[in-house]
Structure 1
Amino acid sequence: MDKRANPAPGFQRNPDKVITIEPYRGAVTVRAGETVIARSTRARLLSEPPYTAVFYIPFDDIDFSKLARAEHSTHCPYKGNASYWSVLPAGESGKDAMWAYEQPFDEMTEIRDHGAFYTGKVTIEATPS
């Protein structure tokens, strides 16, 4: 029996589900128009086929003064409950543009205190080093 405090039920039900998290070697910048929302050289790249890979940026590298916490939330059986933020400089198109797993399942602790952004709501520039 799994004795971890917060195990992911999805991993127990589907051992074939493969999610990888790797450090991104380079810089990631998130913008709304000309306004920089986040800039990091410590981003992590989460791959979860068949979905497109996603950058997770440390909270310390995100300008939360340009965000507003949203009421929207979702649940992933592999990562946990996601909270959302709207990107204020993006206006209506920035609604719920960033999400984060503040209390992820034990298998996903590498993305705790990291936020990810929808590519259709902001511009994400990744420059490999």
Structure 2
Amino acid sequence: MTTAAMKTPGPDHPISMELLAGRVIVTAGGKVIADSANALILREASYPPVYYIPRADADMTLLQRSPRTSHCPYKGDAAYFSIPAAGPRGTDAVWTYEETYPAVSPIAGHLAFYPDRVDAIEIRQEP
């Protein structure tokens, strides 16, 4: 982890997480990258919702670790993966917080996908 200051979500920057009621399927390069009925949906401030998928529900053989990293003062240090099957658009298409700050610990080890770097992020409501 970096030595940057950790911020705690609150009224000025709310973060909420819940189990997605349904299934999320991520495709890229014509392949199913992830298929999960255990995804978390994270809502942060005014940003669009993000689906965090357990690694166990992703085909990790289709991902290649990237040297890119970033830091979020609310979540911690992020690592990235690329999706080679998606071509250049798949570069750094996936991010993960392998260790998180305490306020968002449920997303630790989950994967999130940039919608514009994959073919689709499909949400299916289960009956």
TM over 0.5: yes
Task: State the partner residue of 2:6.
Answer: 9
- Select 1:127's aligned residue among 111, 124, 127: 124
- Select 2:24's aligned residue among 18, 21, 28: 28
Q: Show the 5 A alignment for 1:49-60.
A: 49-60=45-56
* Structure 2 counterpart SS, 1:75: strand
Normalised to the residue count of structure 1, the TM-score between the two structures is: 0.89
CA RMSD of aligned residues (A): 1.4
- Select 2:99's aligned residue among 68, 93, 103: 103
Q: State yes or no: 1:39 paired with 2:42.
A: no
Q: State yes or no: 1:73 paired with 2:69.
A: yes
Gaps of 5+ in 1: 1-7
Identity %: 42
User: How far is 1:34 from its partner?
Assistant: 2.2
Question: Could you list the per-position Cα deviations for residues 52-77 of structure 1 after superposition, in whole angstroms to 9, with x for gaps in the alignment?
Answer: 00000001001110000000010000
User: How far is 1:17 from its partner?
Assistant: 1.7
Q: Distance between the aligned counterparts of 1:75 and 1:20, measured in 2?
A: 19
Q: Distance between the aligned counterparts of 1:16 and 1:9, measured in 2?
A: 15
The answer to whether the Cα contact below 8 Å between 2:38 and 2:53 also exists between their aligned partners in 1 is yes
Following TM superposition, the consecutive aligned residue runs of length 4 or more in structure 1 with deviations greater than 6 angstroms are: none
Alignment length, in residue pairs? 121
Gaps of 5+ in 2: none
User: How far is 1:24 from its partner?
Assistant: 0.2
User: How far is 1:33 from its partner?
Assistant: 3.5
Q: Distance between the aligned counterparts of 2:79 and 2:93, measured in 1?
A: 11
Q: Distance between the aligned counterparts of 2:106 and 2:68, measured in 1?
A: 23
* Structure 2 counterpart SS, 1:10: coil
Question: Could you list the per-position Cα deviations for residues 2-40 of structure 1 after superposition, in whole angstroms to 9, with x for gaps in the alignment?
Answer: xxxxxx72118x663210000001010000142000000
Q: Distance between the aligned counterparts of 2:59 and 2:65, measured in 1?
A: 13
Normalised to the residue count of structure 2, the TM-score between the two structures is: 0.90
* Structure 2 counterpart SS, 1:107: helix
